[in-house]
Amino acid sequence: MIHRLPITRRAALAGFGAALAAPAIRPSFAQSAPIKVGVLHSLSGTMAISETALRDTVLMMVEAQNAAGGILGRRLEAVVVDPASNWPLFAEKARELLAVSKVDVTFGCWTSVSRKSVLPVFEELNGLLFYPVQYEGEEESKNIFYTGAAPNQQAIPAVEYLMGPDGGEAKRIALLGTDYVYPRTTNRILRAFLNSKGIPDSDILEEYTPFGHSDWQGIVSRVKRFAGEGKRTAIVSTINGDANVPFYRELGNQGIKAEDIPSVAFSVGEEELAGIDARPLVGHLAAWNYFMSVDSPANTQFKAMWQAYIKNPRRVTNDPMEATFTGFKMWAQAVAKAGTTAVDPVRTAMIGQKVDAPCGYTEEMHANHHLSKPVMIGEIQADGQFNIVWKTPNAIPAENWSPFIPENANRRRG
């Protein structure tokens, strides 16, 4: 369906226009066809807990851009579809956006399996997808811009932190993930990394569960036994979607505290914690490239923009929302630079685009279609926010081809 945006909040958002790409010309919107922005996120099913906020972020950016005069004098129009956490349906909806709705750009997907489902469609039809979530790497497409983290921008630094003095000097690692490509590939990389640091396979516990898994009692009990064998243990979680709610609840039920068995999550942020009592989880960790608690002028503006749009003080910001925001701004800048929404010129104009992002760092798009990004470790607080306990001094270029996968030895990285 086509989501036609109201204009009632334009005045509230117009003040953010200076942060968006200025249109080259400003004729009446009625004089030209709208720029169509596809939104390909699950609004139902197991991933709706995470993806609905990304739909809302794109709609916010479309509305703000229109309040600033559009792009190239043209109004933006969001086209929203719901692939419903159904991975084959993602490909069908992607084809609908590109072939039927004729969108100029698409922002979408969360899981890697959904991204891999749509990738051949975008390559076949020469569409442009902005993918805003951390992932396992091992991919590079001319039709995708990856604005989330590669493993060297999240997973590897997080495990290094757990193994260091600030993280408790873990000697055993429990790798708990949802059973699909992102957790399995990320954990393949992490196992090789741990082995390179002297951690043998006997000190690595690896468990996978299906999407929407709810019975965590047995797995959490196994982790407790694993941790009780004499070595400092930590959990690395690549659990996705609404399965995180019963997982964290079971940690609390079994009395697992951060000082005993710290857990670091790669797919749990402020939005997921908003649905549970975070008090038993205080001190557990998450690794991202942005937290709502970041103190920066750009983040203050981002949060104010979100509150002006959503009109719900309980709604939080999080890392994939920030990556969506940054990707949208870069795309708008690239369209303004190219003077067209055509995919090929915009793709060329995207390389080298920079944004002073809400994370407090300047992020740049590189030739491998990945961003330079900072890495942050945050501790869960009782209110569901994160206290940032560690971060890199600079934004780090992405290694989308991991050096810990042997077949990548001769690949270009970064």
Res 346 pLDDT > 70: yes
Asked, for residue 217, whether it belongs to a domain, the answer is yes
CA distance readout (Å), 240 to 158, 245, 407: 17, 10, 27
Asked, for residue 62, whether it belongs to a domain, the answer is yes
Q: Tell me: do 167 and 287 sit in the same domain.
A: yes
Asked, for residue 370, whether it belongs to a domain, the answer is no
Over residues 10-53, the pLDDT tens digits come to 444 555 554 565 444 444 565 689 999 999 999 999 999 999 99
Q: Tell me: do 404 and 275 sit in the same domain.
A: yes
Q: Tell me: do 236 and 381 sit in the same domain.
A: yes
Q: Tell me: do 326 and 203 sit in the same domain.
A: no
Work out whether the CA dihedral 129, 394, 15, 308 comes out positive or negative.
Answer: positive
Asked, for residue 414, whether it belongs to a domain, the answer is no
Over residues 199-237, the pLDDT tens digits come to 999 999 999 999 999 999 999 999 999 999 999 999 999
Answer whether 120's CB lies under 8 Å from 95's CB.
Answer: no
CA dihedral 165, 166, 168, 174 (to 10 degrees): -110
Which 8-state DSSP code applies to residue 34?
P
Q: Which domain holds residue 301?
A: 2-148+297-364
Work out whether the CA dihedral 317, 320, 326, 329 comes out positive or negative.
Answer: negative
Q: Tell me: do 383 and 263 sit in the same domain.
A: yes
Tally of domains in the chain:
2
CA distance 1 to 363: 33
Q: Tell me: do 41 and 158 sit in the same domain.
A: no
Answer whether 100's CB lies under 8 Å from 361's CB.
Answer: no
Q: What percent of the chain has pLDDT over 90?
A: 86
Q: Tell me: do 83 and 54 sit in the same domain.
A: yes
Q: Which residue has the tokens 């992405």?
A: 398
Q: Tell me: do 60 and 94 sit in the same domain.
A: yes
CA distance 192 to 200: 10
Q: Tell me: do 333 and 245 sit in the same domain.
A: no
Q: Tell me: do 118 and 166 sit in the same domain.
A: no
- What distance, in Å, lies between the first and last C-alpha atoms of the chain? 38
Helix (H) or strand (E) holding 50: helix 48-67
Q: Tell me: do 97 and 222 sit in the same domain.
A: no
Q: Tell me: do 86 and 140 sit in the same domain.
A: yes
pTM: 0.91
Which token pair is 233? Answer: 């243990």
CATH number at residue 143: 3.40.50.2300
Phi, psi at 28, each rounded to 5° = -60, 140
Res 103 pLDDT > 80: yes
At residue 4 the predicted structure's pLDDT band, cuts being 50, 70 and 90, is very low
Asked, for residue 413, whether it belongs to a domain, the answer is no
Residues 6+ apart with CB under 8 A from 218: none
Asked, for residue 201, whether it belongs to a domain, the answer is yes
